[in-house]
Amino acid sequence: MVRSPLTPEERLRGEQLGHMLRQARGERSIVEIAAAAGMSAETLRKIETGRIATPAFFTIASLADVLGISLDRLAVRATPART
Amino acid sequence: MVRSPLTPEERLRGEQLGHMLRQARGERSIVEIAAAAGMSAETLRKIETGRIATPAFFTIASLADVLGISLDRLAVRATPART
DNA sequence: AACAATACCGGTATAAGTATCCCGGGGGTG
DNA sequence: CACCCCCGGGATACTTATACCGGTATTGTT
């Protein structure tokens, strides 16, 4: 086994993250934010809907910057069991 | 064009990130930190050396948590041209 | 009413990339 | 010598990020 598939919990974590990003976007359109963050609208939509469970760090960093939210907050709130 | 290869700048960004993570690790061994962050030592070493240019968000988040550093700080300092 | 534009959704397809294990090598310390 | 730590390359299943398609709903225009 070279790389194990993502667990349901990891999928759920991705959904949580996407949900927070979608909330932070508010009224603005996907196209607008995606362009500002330097990514395609398709990709942003998939991240928001949780279909991309483990997006790249810089992808989320750029989004958080455009949306004006904290990466630390995103990480903490997306991981339920944080010691 | 389905997915364009990573640009040299993106590679450089990954190296910056890895360097900061390695600095934050300090004296502690790779094996120790990798175990604490829930990843293999091989992967952590590749991230630190910049051979993985765009690691997953939650991977870096877990590392930052173990190392006790800020994700926002990491993101900002890894992206040279921040408007 | 019919038409166009805008915004979101879910599926499919595909190149590029991650995360993992395996291997051998180098350097220090007891 | 044995042990520990770090390094770099190769191989590979799994995943991202992108583009394209048709479908739905809302809004505005003619």
Q: What is the pLDDT of residues A5-18, one digit of tens each?
A: 999 999 999 999 99
**pLDDT tens series, chain B, 83 aa:** 789 999 999 999 999 999 999 999 999 999 999 999 999 999 999 999 999 999 999 999 999 999 999 999 999 988 765 44
Evaluate whether B72 touches B20 at the Cβ level (below 8 Å): no
Evaluate whether B46 touches B52 at the Cβ level (below 8 Å): yes
The closest alpha carbon to B53, from A56, A40, A12, A16, belongs to A56
**Predicted model pTM:** 0.92
Check if A82 contacts B (Cβ < 8 Å): yes
- DSSP-derived letter for residue A7 is P
Distance CA A62, CA A41 (A): 14
Check if A43 contacts B (Cβ < 8 Å): no
Nucleotide nearest to B43 (CA to C1'): C19
Check if B3 contacts A (Cβ < 8 Å): no
The closest alpha carbon to B45, from B25, B71, B68, belongs to B25
Cβ atoms within 10 A of the Cβ of B36, count? Answer: 14
Evaluate whether A72 touches B72 at the Cβ level (below 8 Å): yes
Residue A53 CB closer than 7 angstroms to strand D? yes
CA of B29 to C1' of D3 (A): 15
Q: Of chain A residues 21-50, which have a beta carbon within 7 Å of strand D?
A: 39-40, 42-43, 46-47
Residue B43 CB closer than 7 angstroms to strand C? yes
Distance CA A17, CA A69 (A): 12
Residue B49 CB closer than 7 angstroms to strand C? no
